[in-house]
Amino acid sequence: MTFKFWNLSLIIILAVLFIQISPVFAVSASDQINVVQQVLNCNNNGICEPALGESSTNCPLDCPGPPPLPAPGGGGGSRDTIPPTIYNLFIGKITLNSAEMSWKTNETALCQIFWGKTQEYKEGSTSETNFYLEHSTELIGLSSETIYHFKIVCRDPSKNESETTDQKFFTLTPPNLIPPANIQNFEATPGDSQIRLVWQNPPDIDFKGVKIVRSENFYPQSPWEGTPVYNDKGTSFLDTGLKNNVTYYYTAFAYDKAGNYSSGAVVSATPFKGAIPPTISPSPVVSPPPEIEKIKLEDFDFYQEGKKLFLAEESKIKFKTEEPLTISLDYGKVPEVLKTIMITLEKQGKFFSFLLRINPEKTAYLATIMPPEEIGDYPLTINVFDYKNQTLKKITGQLEVFKAQSQIKPIPWYQKYRTYIYILLVLILLLLIAYYLKRKLEEKNQKEKIRK
Amino acid sequence: MRKNLTIIVIFSLVISSGPVLAFMSSSNYRIQSDSINVGGLDEQSSANYKMKDTIGEIATDESQSSSYKLKAGYRQMEEEAAVSISISSPADVNMSDAIPGITGNSGNPRTGSATWQVTTNNTAGFKLELKSSDEPSMELDATNNFSDYTPAAPGTPDYNWISPASGDAELGFTIEPETVADTVQLFLNAAGPAAPCNSAGGIQTADKCWYNMASANLEVINRGTATGAGGEDEVVKFQTESNAKFLQEGNYTATITATATTN
């Protein structure tokens, strides 16, 4: 026992001597904060509602005077259980992508409107933030030319709810801004004090007419320049009362029912008396500014059926007949002082010219023409004129017109002989029936012979 | 006496051959540092001097390489031995905007946040717990209050804040530790859109995993190492939303206690 006591004492002494420890207790630190949310009871609906906490202090618009005294007895009436009535729903201005609507409720209500392309109203919803008697909203970001369904849900302060039946409106159709193609084969034949004009109208289904304007200086650049000489949907016109030996410039603008004008087909002629027409000196060629000098055929874009066409070979564009061809030059590629860009097609020794006109967005010079009907190669010339009608640049190229491959399937060989095959099958069938009947008859006769 | 000597030798051998641990701990205690030596005193002082000494240690002193710093010896460790933790006192949180007491603010929750800076030299780090003083946490008086946020699955934060049901108003919170690895699992979501929270091995995503305050402490952050001298900025974000619950006008207050405890 003594020994054990000494052993234990020694161990404790050694532990104290040999081991210096620094115990660590879990320590902590705390902090407290307040999270404060302010709540205001004013709905600015023009009605003082002390029961909702509105007072002249917190809601001066609704409660302009001193807060009303509580009702005698403080009893309070029965709880409102009648939902609000929605009436006078009016769909106001409808645009391509928005619609305004207004409605009323017979008591103050907080309304939500849900809309969509179906009666599931998946496209969106909006909610008022206050209670009103008269309500209005505008739905924006809608698709054009689309039927929209919507419904209105209104809730009064007592949480009674009512909603409209399904309502519909139709957003506007985008305006037609695409001009018709230019007239084709516009030709001028001069005579004595007169010029005969002939052309073919474009195939656009909304084509309405052709306006031809005339000038003695240069081709009119718009339907409102020069002297109007023709405005109808015919295909020829005789311009009379002209001065001989004076060159007349005509521009014909085809237009559609929406009032869009084509870029203009141009022609010029000089009336004369006698057998020999006067010689017309070509417009002078002057050295162009550097921006014009560097323009090439590659700078022009050619589109057909909405697809861009690329140069098949150097200076050669391949496109289909019967489909309008749009020629475009980026507006920024030429200086603004530039007056006219004209494209000329040569067909069987005749020249047909068209203006490239700036589009309303001022992004490009454009012309849409109907390609020649006959398959073949047509020399193309693009002339750039300055404001003095001097030729600054002449670019040449070639248009190759080809016929679109029709998707007609070859007729199978048996379709060709279908009638004969039917006849043959019927004959075979008849022969088989005749053979069968003959066999039956023979069998019958044989049986009778045996019986006898 | 020979037997006593034998015991001393065996005891010394047992101690000296023991494993080297960063620290030794039980559920109640942790020994931050220990040393084997033959003597010394912690408190020796005169009118002018104070001395602490340790006798019998081998190869003490401070040495370092480009990657490590070694402080060998009991006294070298002493300056690190006193564990401390502190937490800052941020200002009260005023939510971003007032809520209309009649119509509420459905779909447009108000926001606010508090940042507690926790600093500790404790090599095992710390945990941060949050609790509110009342249930429901945010009250005006005994009858007017915001309910505590109700996650769709009880006990699991909602990845996205969900507006309260019609006629309800709620207060919820989420956290954003300075070191995302310190986020407890409850506030981690699995990677991917609308991933569930409380995902083991998940990620911490800002403004996700919304949960309710409670009057019992809830551990929201746990860090396994000491902080730097600048501490760790632990952000707690709050949101309030009323879906047309009638709320009496006034300032609704939730008193939140943040407690940082060393591990």
Whichever domain contains A205, its CATH number is: 2.60.40.10
Q: Are residues A203 and A275 in the same domain?
A: yes
* A-to-B residue pairs, Cβ atoms closer than 8 angstroms: 195
Q: Are residues A132 and A206 in the same domain?
A: no
pLDDT at residue A279 tops 90: no
Which DSSP symbol is given to B137? S
Report the 10 Å Cβ neighbour count for B35. 21
Window from A269-273, A368-372, B65-69, B259-263 with minimum mean pLDDT: B65-69
Q: For residue B107, is it left (φ>0), alpha (ψ between -120 and 50) or beta? A: left
ipTM: 0.76
Q: Is B155 on the interface with A (CB under 8 A)?
A: no
Main-chain dihedrals φ then ψ at residue B193, nearest 5 degrees: -65, 140
Contact B135, B263 (CB under 8 A): no
Q: Are residues A248 and A303 in the same domain?
A: no
Q: Is B131 on the interface with A (CB under 8 A)?
A: no
Strand partners for A166: none
- Choosing from A370, A392, A407, the residue where a domain stops is A407
The number of residues in chain A equals: 452
CA distance A92 to chain B (A): 27
Q: pLDDT by residue (tens digit) across A12-61?
A: 555 544 444 444 467 889 999 999 999 887 766 666 667 666 766 667 66
Q: Is B252 on the interface with A (CB under 8 A)?
A: yes
pLDDT at residue A446 tops 50: yes
A179: its two tokens: 């001009």
B93: its two tokens: 């949180």
pLDDT at residue B41 tops 80: no
**Selection from A58, A149, A54, A56 nearest residue A99 by Cα:** A149
**Residue range A189-201: mean pLDDT, rounded:** 94
CA distance A126 to chain B (A): 11
Q: Are residues A221 and A277 in the same domain?
A: yes
Residue type, A451: R
**Selection from B217, B216, B208, B222 nearest residue B172 by Cα:** B208
**Selection from A92, A95, A130 nearest residue A112 by Cα:** A130
CA distance B4 to chain A (A): 7
Q: Are residues A154 and A210 in the same domain?
A: no
Q: Is B246 on the interface with A (CB under 8 A)?
A: yes
**Residue range A110-121: mean pLDDT, rounded:** 92
Q: pLDDT by residue (tens digit) across A122-134?
A: 888 888 888 899 9
Contact A144, A119 (CB under 8 A): no
Residue type, B109: P
Task: Please indicate whether, in this complex, the C-beta atoms of A39 and B247 are within 8 angstroms of each other.
Answer: yes
pLDDT-based confidence at residue A339 (cuts at 50, 70, 90): low
Say whether pTM exceeds 0.80.
no
**Residue range B207-219: mean pLDDT, rounded:** 94
pLDDT-based confidence at residue B110 (cuts at 50, 70, 90): very high
Chain B interface test: which of A30, A35, A45, A161 (most B C-beta within 10 Å): A35
pLDDT-based confidence at residue A178 (cuts at 50, 70, 90): confident
**Residue range A186-193: mean pLDDT, rounded:** 93
Check residue A151 and give its pLDDT.
93
Residue of A nearest to B247 (CA): A39
Chain B interface test: which of A12, A33, A39 (most B C-beta within 10 Å): A39
Contacts of A79 in chain B (CB under 8 A): none
| Cα–Cα distance for residue pair B100/B118, rounded to 1 Å | 36
Map out the domains of chain B as residue ranges. 2-81, 85-262
| Cα–Cα distance for residue pair A80/A162, rounded to 1 Å | 14
pLDDT-based confidence at residue A370 (cuts at 50, 70, 90): confident
Q: Is B43 on the interface with A (CB under 8 A)?
A: no
Contacts of B140 in chain A (CB under 8 A): 39
Which DSSP symbol is given to A47? S
Share of chain B above pLDDT 90, in %: 48
Q: Is A23 on the interface with B (CB under 8 A)?
A: yes
| Cα–Cα distance for residue pair A239/A250, rounded to 1 Å | 10
> Quick one: B46 exposed, middle or buried, by C-beta within 10 A (0-12, 13-18, 19+)?
exposed
| Cα–Cα distance for residue pair A155/A165, rounded to 1 Å | 15
Report the 10 Å Cβ neighbour count for A409. 5
Listing DSSP states for B33-72 in one string gives EEEE-SB--S-EE-SS-EE---BS-SS-EEEE-SS-EEEE
Residue of B nearest to A58 (CA): B249
Tell me the three state secondary structure of residue A141: coil
Q: Is the dihedral of CA A12, A17, A18, A23 positive or negative?
A: positive
| Cα–Cα distance for residue pair B151/B156, rounded to 1 Å | 7
Q: Is B85 on the interface with A (CB under 8 A)?
A: yes
Q: Is the dihedral of CA A265, A270, A272, A275 positive or negative?
A: negative
| Cα–Cα distance for residue pair A62/B162, rounded to 1 Å | 33
**Residue from the list B11, B12, B258 with its beta carbon closest to the beta carbon of A30:** B258
Contacts of B101 in chain A (CB under 8 A): 39-41, 52-53
- Choosing from A170, A195, A224, the residue where a domain stops is A170
Q: What are the residues whose beta carbons fall under 8 Å from the beta carbon of A65, sequence distance 6 or more?
A: A56
| Cα–Cα distance for residue pair B40/B55, rounded to 1 Å | 5
**Selection from B119, B117, B116, B115 nearest residue B85 by Cα:** B119
| Cα–Cα distance for residue pair A255/A210, rounded to 1 Å | 6
| Cα–Cα distance for residue pair B232/B224, rounded to 1 Å | 12
Q: Which of residues 144-203 of A touch B (CB under 8 A)?
A: 157, 159
| Cα–Cα distance for residue pair B173/B129, rounded to 1 Å | 13
Window from A141-155, A305-319, B82-96 with minimum mean pLDDT: A305-319
CA distance A12 to chain B (A): 11
Contact B116, B232 (CB under 8 A): no
Comparison of pLDDT for A365 and A46, the residue scoring more: A365
Question: A340-347 and A350-358 as β-strands: parallel, antiparallel, unpaired?
Answer: antiparallel
Instruction: Output the domain CATH number for residue A317.
Output: 2.70.50.30
Tell me the three state secondary structure of residue A396: strand
Prior bond to A290 cis, omega within 30? no
Check residue B245 and give its pLDDT.
87
What is the number of structural domains in chain A?
Answer: 3
Check residue A10 and give its pLDDT.
58
Check residue A439 and give its pLDDT.
92
Q: Is B143 on the interface with A (CB under 8 A)?
A: no
Tell me the three state secondary structure of residue A444: helix
Question: A340-347 and A376-385 as β-strands: parallel, antiparallel, unpaired?
Answer: antiparallel
Comparison of pLDDT for A344 and B33, the residue scoring more: A344
Main-chain dihedrals φ then ψ at residue A109, nearest 5 degrees: -150, 155
Comparison of pLDDT for B224 and A335, the residue scoring more: B224
A278: its two tokens: 């006067």
pLDDT-based confidence at residue B260 (cuts at 50, 70, 90): very high
Check residue B239 and give its pLDDT.
96
Cα A262 to its chain centre, rounded Å, is 20
Contact A110, A131 (CB under 8 A): yes
**Residue range B102-126: mean pLDDT, rounded:** 91
**Residue from the list A6, A27, A41 with its beta carbon closest to the beta carbon of B83:** A27
Report the 10 Å Cβ neighbour count for B24. 15
Q: Which helix (H) or strand (E) holds B2?
A: helix B2-16
| Cα–Cα distance for residue pair A365/A295, rounded to 1 Å | 14
| Cα–Cα distance for residue pair A166/A185, rounded to 1 Å | 56
| Cα–Cα distance for residue pair A342/B122, rounded to 1 Å | 86
Cα A85 to its chain centre, rounded Å, is 40
Q: Is A16 on the interface with B (CB under 8 A)?
A: no
Residue numbers of the domain that contains A378: 284-407
**Residue from the list B15, B95, B261 with its beta carbon closest to the beta carbon of A26:** B261
- Choosing from A281, A312, A347, the residue where a domain stops is A281
Residue A433 lies in a domain: no
| Cα–Cα distance for residue pair A267/A283, rounded to 1 Å | 14
| Cα–Cα distance for residue pair A4/B80, rounded to 1 Å | 39
